[in-house]
Amino acid sequence: MTIYDLLIIGGGPAGLAAAIYGGRGKLKTAVIEKGMPGGQAATTNELENYPGFGKGFTGPDIMQKWLAQAQAFDAEILYDDVLEYRLKGDIKEVKGMTGTVYQAKSIILANGSEPRILGIPGEKEFRGRGVSYCATCDAAFFKDLKVTVIGNGDTAIDEAQYLTKFAQEVTIIVRRPYKQLRANKRSVESAYANPKIKWVWESVPVEVKGDQVVTSLLVQNTATGEISEITCDGVFFFVGMLPRTELFVDQLDHNEQNYIITDEKMATNIDGVFAAGDLREKYLRQVITAANDGAIAAYAAEKYLAQKEENSVK
């Protein structure tokens, strides 16, 4: 069985950056990815704050380049969904959904995060039938239709803007008071200027309604308690993210929200196990900071392996 020097779980920005560094550092490197490489960045149309690219480049474009660069340095991409993690010991072992067991001397956990489910009635029932968590993936289904967007963070505002390229009208439901949005000012200003965007303030969604597909959203005004019905064909939820750490969080130091705690070398509390990207406890979750984490983690893994090698010949 192949024993990799470096096994990276997750092929998003953190994982691919780690693969570029690991491969270039001549480590036998593999990335295990369960879907399309590129992670959330590959489902983000607007990525205008990634230096050197800016307007005109999409997330998928940029991630394709990273993937090609990692492969050019001989990093392997393995398609599997890791379900079991054995992180302790000199040889780390993970088992995929395919039943394959993968072994490595060091591992970088770069599993990322996933959209938080709000859990209101109708949300689960109409998922894929009007309820969505990804505008880049699903916006085209709503051409000339009406959609609502829940949330007011960077994702909600950016994705609402993207939705206006297709939808006739996009109504953003904000639980905060009038014009006190969480998202960055630049995105907010351009959303205010967009005539296709409507706003519903101080309100939370309470139920998605429909028959075969979504037909409306019930929202409650948090100040008055009044419930109103907004006719729409789609509801996009952007109410934050959760780290994908549940399968190994009990083996590692983590915070209350299950984000993995590392030192500045991305090292976890287990020797040879590193964490990079959105699943890590950190200040700013962006493509650029994920890349930073991935590069540091791979470099630290290389040093860890070199030190082990040196100790073994002593």
- Judged by CB under 6 A, does residue 39 bind ligand NAP? no
Neighbours of 129 (CB within 10 A): 14
Radius of gyration of the chain (CA): 21
State how far the alpha carbon of 172 is from the alpha carbons of 48, 158, 244, 299, in Å: 22, 11, 27, 43
176 binds ligand NAP (CB under 6 A): yes
In the set 61, 74, 80, 134, the catalytic residue is: 134
Dist. CA 78–CA 73, nearest whole Å: 15
Site membership for ligand NAP, residue 150 (CB under 6 A): yes
Q: Does 14 bind ligand NAP (CB under 6 A)?
A: no
Q: Between residues 124 and 303, which has the closer beta carbon with respect to ligand NAP?
A: 124
Give the type of residue at 84. E
Among 241, 249, 261, 270, binds ligand NAP (CB under 6 A): 241
238 touches ligand NAP (CB under 6 A): yes
- Supply the angle between the helices 59-72 and 13-24 in degrees, to the nearest 10: 20
Query: Is residue 232 flagged as an active site residue?
Result: no
Please list, in sequence order, all residues whose beta carbon lies within 8 angstroms of the beta carbon of residue 72, skipping any fewer than 6 positions away: 23
Question: Residue 281 contacts by C-beta under 8 Å, 6 or more apart in sequence?
Answer: 254, 255, 259, 260, 261, 262
Which of 186/303 has CB closer to ligand NAP? 186
Out of 58, 111, 132, 152, which residue is the one contacting ligand NAP (CB under 6 A)?
Answer: 152
- Find the helix packing angle between 154-163 and 185-192, rounded to 10°: 30
Does 151 sit near ligand NAP (CB under 6 A)? yes
- Using CB under 6 A, pick the residue from 5, 24, 49, 80 that binds ligand NAP: 49
- Which of 90, 137, 250, 263 does the annotation list as catalytic? 137
Q: Which residues pair with 247 in a beta bridge?
A: none
The reply to whether 54 sits near ligand NAP by the rule CB under 6 A is no
Q: Enumerate the β-bridge partners of residue 208.
A: 217
| CA pair distance 146, 171, nearest whole angstrom | 8
Site string for ligand NAP, 184-213 (x = CB under 6 A): x-------------------x---------
Q: Which is nearer to ligand NAP, 106 or 216 (CB)?
A: 216
Binds ligand NAP (CB under 6 A): choice among 148, 155, 220, 268: 155
Q: Contact positions toward ligand NAP, by CB under 6 A?
A: 49, 118, 150-156, 158, 175-176, 182, 184, 204, 238-241, 285-286
Query: What are the catalytic residues?
Result: 134, 137-138
